[in-house]
Amino acid sequence: MEFKQAQVVGFSQTLIKRYQQFFELAPLNHDFVDQPQMQSKQIALYLTQAFQHHYQLTVQFNVQDHVQQVTGQLIRQINATTYLLKESRSNLYKIVTANQVRYILKN
């Protein structure tokens, strides 16, 4: 009985790894590292380049008492400092303003 259970667990882990490789999905339990605050000119430049070149991004936001991290793609520029970000793992959208951004990482 234990052998069959070990086989099922091993099979499910292998299946998850194969799907992640096939669809190029990042693992769900990635480490969250609190990054330092970027300069405002650097944030504006990165946002502009990411929008123009359709890059996948990981963006950290300054929220009142903690840091929030979102991965996705900038799909629309609303004005000079505001963009619409579509999250990669869901159909959720977020309005991104340059003064809310703490750190930007290209994936």
* Confidence (pLDDT) at 44: 94
- The number of C-alpha atoms within 13 Å of 48 and in the hemisphere containing its C-beta is 9
Long-range Cβ contacts of 90-95 (<8 Å, 24+ apart): 94/70
Q: What's the half-sphere exposure (Cβ side, CA atoms, 13 Å) at 22?
A: 6
Task: Give me the residue spans of the domains in the chain.
Answer: 40-106
Residue type present at position 18: R
Burial environment of residue 3 by CB neighbours within 10 A (0 to 12, 13 to 18, 19 or more): exposed
Per-residue pLDDT tens over the stretch 70-93 = 899 999 999 999 999 999 888 899
Going by C-alpha positions, the residue among 98, 105, 81 that lies closest to residue 39 is 98
Going residue by residue through the chain (107 aa), what tens digit of pLDDT does each one get? 566 666 666 777 787 777 766 666 554 444 567 888 999 999 999 999 999 999 999 999 988 778 888 899 999 999 999 999 999 888 899 999 999 999 999 98
Please enumerate in sequence order all residues whose Cβ is within 8 A of that of 2, keeping only pairs 6 or more positions apart, or say none. Answer: none
The domain 40-106: what is its CATH number? 2.30.30.520
Residue 35 CA, distance from chain mean position: 14
pTM over 0.75: no
